[in-house]
Amino acid sequence: MTDLLPAWPLLGAFLAASLVLALTPGPAVVYLLTRTLAQGRRAGLASVLGVALGNLGNALGAAIGLAALFAVSSLAFTVVKYAGAAYLVYLGVQALRGASSAIAEADAPAEVPPAATGRVLRDGFLVALLNPKTALFFAAFLPQFTSASASPLGQSVLLGAIFVAVAATTDALYVLTASVLASRLRRIGSARRWGRYATGTAFIGLGAWTALSGTRAKV
């Protein structure tokens, strides 16, 4: 496996670039923070795992040529793009519908029950996977650190996995920080209800941003 990694100076540059990109807040970080503030640390960490798996799927897709398909087929790109935007809007509507029922239970803990963790993970996975711009990002970013002396596919898969691991680590740090803030906000009686309104609005806004934005975006 080590023969698939670039030489250390180039690998160091890759790790540094990955860390900077991962630390820079983008739509995925907004999604994770919104989940955490509305539903607690368990939901946030489950979302981190889901987003990581979705991003890994996009990295694999980029490695086998899915990004090339999106680059030459505007229809394929548009279909996947709007599917992801629609799913975000759906999550936002569901959160807004639940806001009214949260009025009577505003003091209840926001943590999702263990049985619902799988659903939260699934949502994070689909939100990340249904973002074709992520595959295009990997297709543009990873080749900068590959060489002709080893398998391009193997190098792309390995580097993509490393990038996803770095991003998942920084995302988890964002979530853990937000969970501390969330625990303090829960002391305010109406925080949970307004948190649901904020969640719904943020998801719908992310969906609209995804639908209206161009082809270039951070993971």
> In whole numbers, what is the pLDDT of the chain averaged over residues?
82
Whole-angstrom distance, CA of residue 115 vs CA of residue 160: 31
168 and 219 Cβ atoms separated by less than 8 Å? no
Per-residue confidence at 140, pLDDT binned at 50, 70, 90? confident
92 and 200 Cβ atoms separated by less than 8 Å? yes
Encode pLDDT of 11-61 as tens digits: 999 999 999 999 988 888 989 998 898 888 999 999 999 999 999 999 999
Is the model more confident about 194 or about 14?
A: 14
Is the model more confident about 85 or about 192?
A: 85
Q: What is the structure's pLDDT at 194?
A: 60
> Which whole-number Å values give the CA distances from 153 to 53, 84, 147, in the listed order?
19, 26, 11
- Identify the residue whose tokens are 């992801």: 84
Residue 114: strand, helix, or coil: helix
Per-residue confidence at 155, pLDDT binned at 50, 70, 90? very high
Highest mean pLDDT out of 48-52, 100-104, 198-202, 214-218: 48-52
Encode pLDDT of 111-139 as tens digits: 567 658 999 999 999 999 998 889 889 98
C-alpha torsion 125→192→25→156, nearest 10: -10
Residue 142 buriedness (CB in 10 A; 0-12 / 13-18 / 19+): buried
- Token readout for 70 is 């999106």
Q: What is the structure's pLDDT at 159?
A: 96
Encode pLDDT of 63-116 as tens digits: 988 778 877 888 888 888 888 888 988 888 887 776 555 443 444 445 567 658
Q: Which residues contact 212 (CB under 8 A, 6 or more apart)?
A: none
